């Protein structure tokens, strides 16, 4: 038996281009799993996602981990139609742009993350994979 | 620093525990640095440490803590934590200790020193002034705040001495009374993806307080700080490490801080120059 201690695997944001999934729509959840103003973490897509339903009832999806300091956006809060990171409250919109940083004068132009197309079809939530 | 995990545990002094937890003629097993450490308090009250693998590591007892020196190059210690008078004074309580495990690399803990932006959202504790300074093996954060949760006229000064030993002096007004406290935030890496935080609180005794009241007072402080750590841990356990974060004008000197920390993750001959930073407000 080894004397070494057990190591935990840490979370990663997988490269979707390395996924075995094919291009096209993939089911990630059932419609009733995300109510208005709620967000979930998706681990079984080509990469990790946050999928949320804005106050207008529409679904949106981004890479799970915040491009600022790496926290999981699914642990944050839906604010209007955007989502706020739990770590520093950066607010992201459905296009992957940072819209608000409560403690900054200016939003850095590089504050952009990857967004994903989402649709609802017969009570399923689907996300579009398009590898590059 | 890259997104990859560091290839080693940092060089420096690490707290193994509070002195009172090492009893004479007793050996304690402590899991750290991906190995088993045997720590013995000898009959003459000295401490010996067997880190296994035929190695011998220096130990130190200071500020109520038993510490060990970890260095993959097996070099002698090149600094020593400063003595804190309060740790030897009857006017202060002893450290009350708490510990918990975090499933991530220990470098995550360091970011807090420069992470001005997280105090509001994570701890509901907005602050007024925020300063950082890097000098040799030390990194210091000063902060002032006026918060209904933490207290009025709050002042705190936190200093890392090396990569894993941080002490804080804090003063605040609570119900018109000046409250002075000292925190210890130390950690021991277990593996490259887990570490244990050993955390301590001591308070300056308030004249007229009974031993029982004092105990309750210290425990209240421990509970409050444990709660604050819980808020951090929830974030740390589901995050990725962004090696080159996009920062905004309201963020502290994160890049500077990480470069300072990087000195403990390379051989001494490879430590870059220019890691110091004069005290600056952010």
CATH number at residue B147: 3.90.380.10
| ipTM given for this complex | 0.90
Q: What is the pLDDT along chain B (282 residues), one digit of tens a residue?
A: 457 899 999 999 999 999 999 999 999 999 999 999 999 999 999 999 999 999 999 999 999 999 999 999 999 999 999 999 999 999 998 999 989 899 999 999 999 999 988 877 777 777 789 999 999 999 999 999 876 666 678 899 999 999 999 999 999 887 788 889 999 999 999 999 999 999 999 989 888 888 888 888 878 877 887 788 888 888 888 999 999 899 999 999 999 999 999 999 999 999 999 999 999 999
The answer to whether residue B164 sits within a structural domain is: yes
Residue of B nearest to A113 (CA): B246
Mutate which: A69, A102, A108, A114, vs B, most B CBs within 10 A: A69
Dist. CA B208–CA B192, nearest whole Å: 47
Residue-number span of the structural domain to which B208 is assigned: 84-236
Distances in whole angstroms, Cα of residue A107 to Cα of each of A96, B120, B244, B249: 13, 18, 17, 8
Alpha-helix residue ranges (DSSP H) falling in A14-112: none
CA distance A5 to chain B (A): 6
Considering only alpha carbons, which residue of chain A is nearest residue B118?
A: A88
* Structural domain contains residue B110: yes
Tell me, yes or no, whether B268 lies in a domain: no
Distance of CA B191 to the CA centre of its chain: 18
CB contact under 8 A, B239 and A13: no
Cβ atoms < 10 Å from Cβ of B66: 23
A2 touches chain B (CB under 8 A): no
Alpha-carbon torsion B254, B258, B259, B260, what sign? positive
Q: Is B167 helix (H, G, I), strand (E, B) or coil?
A: strand
* Residue B137 maps to a domain: yes
Task: Answer yes or no: is B197 within a domain.
Answer: yes
CB contact under 8 A, A8 and B194: yes
Its CATH class, for the domain covering A21-129, is mainly beta
In a domain? residue B9: no
The tally of domains found in chain B comes to: 1
């Amino acid at each position: 038996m080894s004397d070494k201690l057990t190591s935990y695997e840490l979370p990663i944001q997988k490269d979707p281009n390395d996924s075995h999934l094919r291009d096209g729509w993939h089911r990630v959840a059932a419609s009733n799993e995300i109510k208005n103003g709620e967000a979930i973490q998706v681990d079984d897509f080509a990469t990790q996602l946050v999928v949320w339903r804005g106050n207008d009832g529409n679904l949106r999806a981004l890479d799970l981990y915040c491009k600022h300091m790496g926290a999981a956006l699914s642990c944050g809060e839906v604010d209007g139609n955007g989502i706020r990171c739990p770590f520093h409250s950066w607010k992201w919109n459905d296009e992957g742009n940072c819209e608000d940083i409560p403690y900054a004068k200016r939003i850095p132009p590089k504050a952009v993350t990857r967004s994903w197309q989402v649709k609802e079809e017969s009570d399923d939530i689907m996300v579009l994979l398009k590898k590059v | 620093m890259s997104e990859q995990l560091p290839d080693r545990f940092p060089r420096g002094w690490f707290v193994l525990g509070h002195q009172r937890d090492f009893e004479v003629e007793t050996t304690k097993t402590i899991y750290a640095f991906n190995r088993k450490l045997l720590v013995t308090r000898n009959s003459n009250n000295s401490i010996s440490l067997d880190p296994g693998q035929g190695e011998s590591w220096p130990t130190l007892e200071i500020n109520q803590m038993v510490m060990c020196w970890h260095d993959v190059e097996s070099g002698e210690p090149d600094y020593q934590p400063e003595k804190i008078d309060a740790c030897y004074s009857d006017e202060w309580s002893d450290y009350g200790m708490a510990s918990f495990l975090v499933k991530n690399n220990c470098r995550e803990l360091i970011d807090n020193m420069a992470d001005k932006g997280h105090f509001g959202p994570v701890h509901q504790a907005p602050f007024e002034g925020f300063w950082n300074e890097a000098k040799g093996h030390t990194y210091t954060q000063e902060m002032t705040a006026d918060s209904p949760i933490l207290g009025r006229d709050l002042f705190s000064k936190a200093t890392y001495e090396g990569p894993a030993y941080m002490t804080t002096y804090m003063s605040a007004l609570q119900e018109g009374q000046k409250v002075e406290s000292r925190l210890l935030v130390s950690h021991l890496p277990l593996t490259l993806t887990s570490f244990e935080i050993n955390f301590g609180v001591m308070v300056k005794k308030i004249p007229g307080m009974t031993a029982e009241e004092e105990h309750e007072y210290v425990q209240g402080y421990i509970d409050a700080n444990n709660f604050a750590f819980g808020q951090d841990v929830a974030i740390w356990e589901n995050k990725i490490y962004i090696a080159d974060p996009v920062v905004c004008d309201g963020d502290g000197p994160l890049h500077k801080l990480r470069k300072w920390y990087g000195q403990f993750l390379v051989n001494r001959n490879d430590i870059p120059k220019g890691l110091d930073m004069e005290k600056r407000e952010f």
